[in-house]
């Protein structure tokens, strides 16, 4: 695999620092089916750029997690205009990473990447649970005539019979998605945003206990007051501390095997949103590999 130098990759680590990677960052700025605001193709490079400003020391974990993890970033590559070919590309990349027993984290791009991202996981593991952060259920069979739309991302994941879903922050669902939700009620658990004050985190802990988990994080799952830099922002979403708490519980109680973060549409001059996503990525990786220290 062709990597960027440490200095130009995620976190901008000094080139003199040498480590064996455990994590591979994949920049995959796919933007083919956005339906409102655009710009997700620029998400990966802006996340990586902002990550160079993230403090490497984590006061919660009392260490510099990157030294104990080992993170390398793939060099950017051409993404096919055909969405099926693009999804096959990310699937093939993740397959190679999994073969090396490494942890893939993909920076999108739009949420339509996720069915491609998880395909090799569905083949490697008997069962895989998606921990899904999103404002939208993404359960449409198709949207604007496109089966692989970002609005159908989770429905396409459910096409794999060994996939189950735990969703947080959903606050936008169409009438046509309700029958799909009911039909798959045994495979989908939703922690609705409207019920946030009554979420039972012990229930979540039991749901995720000892499962093999893949995190898919659509940044519009965050409240639009802290994350307006996305194509379809929604009020009433997740805030920083409660988001980290969910991820922390997952990392302490299950086996996180991969992740993607998607739907950042950078706004010129407002780097704080890019920085938030970069720090989120670092926290996910830190919790994944150092949860025993919590």
pLDDT of 37 reads 55
CA nearest to 191, candidates 144, 105, 250: 250
What is d(CA 176, CA 178) in angstroms, rounded to the nearest whole number? 6
Q: Which helix (H) or strand (E) holds 88?
A: helix 83-99
Query: Taking the domains of the chain in order of start, what are their residue ranges?
Result: 6-293
E-strand spans in the chain?
Answer: 23-28, 71-73, 103-108, 128-133, 163-168, 188-191, 212-218, 255-262
The distance in angstroms from the start CA to the end CA of the chain is 33
| pLDDT tens by residue, 7-19 | 999 999 998 888 8
**Residue 106's CB: how many other CB atoms inside 10 A?**
27
Supply the pLDDT for residue 151. Answer: 84
Q: Which of 205, 185, 193, 201 is nearest to 234 (CA)?
A: 193
Q: Kindly state the tokens that stand for 135.
A: 């404002």
Helix (H, G, I), strand (E, B) or coil at 196: helix
Query: Can you give the pTM of this predicted structure?
Result: 0.96
pLDDT tens per residue, range 18-68: 888 999 999 999 877 655 556 889 999 999 999 999 999 999 999 999 999
Is 258:94 a contact under the CB 8 Å cutoff? yes
pLDDT in tens, 97-146: 999 999 999 999 899 999 999 999 999 999 999 999 999 999 998 777 77
Two tokens at 212?
């093999």
Q: Using one digit for the tens of pLDDT, what is the confidence trace for 167-218?
A: 999 999 999 999 999 999 999 999 999 999 999 999 999 999 999 999 999 9
CA–CA separation, 214 and 124 (whole Å): 12
Which homologous superfamily is 6-293 in? Ureohydrolase domain (3.40.800.10)
């Amino acid at each position: 695999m062709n990597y960027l130098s440490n200095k130009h990759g995620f976190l901008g680590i000094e080139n003199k620092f040498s480590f064996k990677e455990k994590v591979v960052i994949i920049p995959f700025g796919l933007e083919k089916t956005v339906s409102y605001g655009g710009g997700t193709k620029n998400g990966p490079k802006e996340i990586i750029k902002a990550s160079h400003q993230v403090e490497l020391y984590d006061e919660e974990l009392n260490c510099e997690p990157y030294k104990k993890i080992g993170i390398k970033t793939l060099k950017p590559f051409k993404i096919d205009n055909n969405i099926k070919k693009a999804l096959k590309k990310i699937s093939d990349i993740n397959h190679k990473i999994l073969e090396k027993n490494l942890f893939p984290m993909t920076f999108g791009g739009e949420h339509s990447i996720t069915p491609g991202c998880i395909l090799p996981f569905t083949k490697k593991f008997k069962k895989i649970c998606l921990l899904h952060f999103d404002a939208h259920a993404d359960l449409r069979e198709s949207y604007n005539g496109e089966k692989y739309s970002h609005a159908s991302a989770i429905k396409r994941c459910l096409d794999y019979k060994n996939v189950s879903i735990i969703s947080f922050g959903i606050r936008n669902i169409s009438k046509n998605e309700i029958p799909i939700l009911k039909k798959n009620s045994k495979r989908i658990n939703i922690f609705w945003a409207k019920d946030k004050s009554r979420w039972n985190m012990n229930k979540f802990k039991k749901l995720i206990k000892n499962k093999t988990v893949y995190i898919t994080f659509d940044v519009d799952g965050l409240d639009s007051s802290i994350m307006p830099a996305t194509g379809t922002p929604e009020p009433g979403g997740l805030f920083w501390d409660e988001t980290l708490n969910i991820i922390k519980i997952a990392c302490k109680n299950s086996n996180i095997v991969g992740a993607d973060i998607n739907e950042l549409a950078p706004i010129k001059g407002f780097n704080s949103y890019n920085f938030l996503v970069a720090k989120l990525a670092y926290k996910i990786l830190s919790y994944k590999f150092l949860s025993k220290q919590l």
